[in-house]
Amino acid sequence: MKVADVMTRGIDFVDPSATVQAAATQMAEIDVGAVLIGSDAGVVGILTDRDILVRVVVEGKNPAYVVVSEVMTPDVVGCAGEDAIEAAFVRMREGQFRRMPVFGEAGKPLGVVTLSDLARHIDGPESLVEALRELSEPHRQRADRPAEDDDDDDAAELSAIRA
């Protein structure tokens, strides 16, 4: 099955010069967790609810005065509509993101595919569970988790302490 078969078509773009408040309002109105920044001519970034939380709210900035281009993620990783859903799933797992733009010929944006779009169509619950686990891991090593090279005794001891 191809990404084009499961993605959401139709993109509600946000202009890079829009305020974060305007972008967040649009996200709420269309009930999405991310919007593509740009136009039909091309995507220059993506703005997620997490971007807003970490780069605006936590920093104490006023979303009515912050411009989207200042806080968006500019390096957009996408896939082609003709890609296999398994390949898109791997790309999302490796990048630890839950939404990805889908591009057609000449880089024209076609839509967005989400982790849940793919999960509904991926075979093999074991691979799905492992991929979801990896996506849910933080980007940094957690202090309460032993490093991978620790021996089993340390891991068992930590488990006993937690219990």
- CATH code of the domain covering residue 17: 3.10.580.10
pLDDT of residue 154: 39
Element (H, E) at 24: helix 20-30
The mean of the pLDDT values for the chain is 81
Residues of the chain with pLDDT under 70: 123-163
Whether the Cβ atoms of residue 91 and residue 79 lie closer than 8 Å to each other = yes
Q: Please give the C-alpha separations between residue 121 and each of 6, 96, 135, in angstroms, as whole numbers.
A: 8, 19, 17
Of 8, 11, 9, nearest in space to 27 by CA? 11
pLDDT of residue 149: 43
Count of structural domains, the chain: 1
pLDDT of residue 136: 56
Token pair for residue 96? 């630890």
Domain that holds residue 125: 3-162
Q: How deeply is 2 buried, as exposed, middle or buried, from its count of CB atoms within 10 A (0-12, 13-18, 19+)? A: middle
pLDDT of residue 151: 42
63-93 residue pLDDT tens:
999 999 999 999 899 999 999 998 998 899 8
pLDDT of residue 4: 93
pLDDT of residue 163: 36
Cα torsion 45, 99, 101, 25: sign: negative
Distance CA 154, CA 163 (A): 14
